[in-house]
Copies of this chain bind each other. A is one copy, B any other.
Amino acid sequence: MIVVENSHRKAGRPRTSVLDRERITQHALELVTASGYEGLTMQRLAKSLGVSPSALYNHVDSKQDLLQWIQESVMTQVDSSSFDTLPLREALGHWATSYRDTFSNHIPLIPVIAVLPVADSPRTLRMYERVARALTEAGLAQEQVVPTIVALESFIFGSAMDTSAPHDIFDAGAHHEETQNFTEAIEAQRRTEVPTSDASFQRGLRALIEGMVP
């Protein structure tokens, strides 16, 4: 009897639902890690939680809502600590790289962030505040702070998406004659042996930082 009781109510805990935001988000992230975002469906998530699909809707408004929870959780992986330890330009470089690397593994979240009001994501808001403070303290004109952050973020998101490109995406196939300059540029870049997405990110990031921050 006692055993059966325990399996239904966690001993010593207040009697609450077995589902909450934390547990749902955690299982969702496990599903994503195991099988990508195409493997994240409400039905599979319910099965992973040992519950019927409709039960989820007592806690989540919609799948879009769930994706916002996941976004908020993933955002904690972005490292903003360099603003406390490094000069501004280096700190921005570290932060941007961490930001890109994080969302390279969560590309389907990018459209979610792009549309999500920051007020709904306190951790994201705190990150923006940290960057805004660093830029302001460095003497950047106040009205340029937000455009600077947004420009960096647009570049970061675009670069994160670019990392999923197949490595041979630029093979010109049968069109070599009409695309001589481009084809030779591809080969010259390939000879450097650094992945195109990394070389592009480094190059763009340096230009953005040097051109936008004091």
Contacts and interface: CB of A to CB of B under 8 A. Distances in A.
B172 A125 contact: yes
A50 to B, nearest CB: 32
Contacts of A182: 125, 128-129, 132-133, 145
A209 to B, nearest CB: 8
A128 B179 contact: yes
Counting chain B CB atoms within 10 Å of each CB, the highest count among A136, A180, A182 belongs to A182
A136 B181 contact: yes
A105 to B, nearest CB: 15
A175 B122 contact: yes
Given A151-B200, A203-B151, A204-B208, A119 B171 contact: yes
A116 B114 CA distance: 23
Interface stretch (A10-18, A20-28, A55-63, A154-162): A154-162
A202 B125 CA distance: 24
Contacts of A132: 179, 181-182, 185
17 contacts: A117-B173, A128-B182, A129-B180, A136-B181, A143-B192, A144-B189, A144-B203, A145-B181, A145-B182, A145-B185, A145-B189, A146-B170, A147-B199, A150-B197, A150-B200, A204-B208, A208-B211
A6 interface: no
Interface of A: 107, 110-111, 114-120, 122, 125-126, 128-129, 132-133, 135-136, 142-148, 150-159, 161-162, 164-166, 168-175, 178-182, 184-186, 188-189, 191-192, 196-197, 199-204, 206-208, 210-212
Contacts of A144: 189, 203
Contacts of A128: 179, 182
- List the 4 shortest-distance A-B pairs measured between CB atoms, nearest first: A207-B211, A151-B204, A119-B173, A154-B158
A27 B33 CA distance: 38
A94 to B, nearest CB: 18
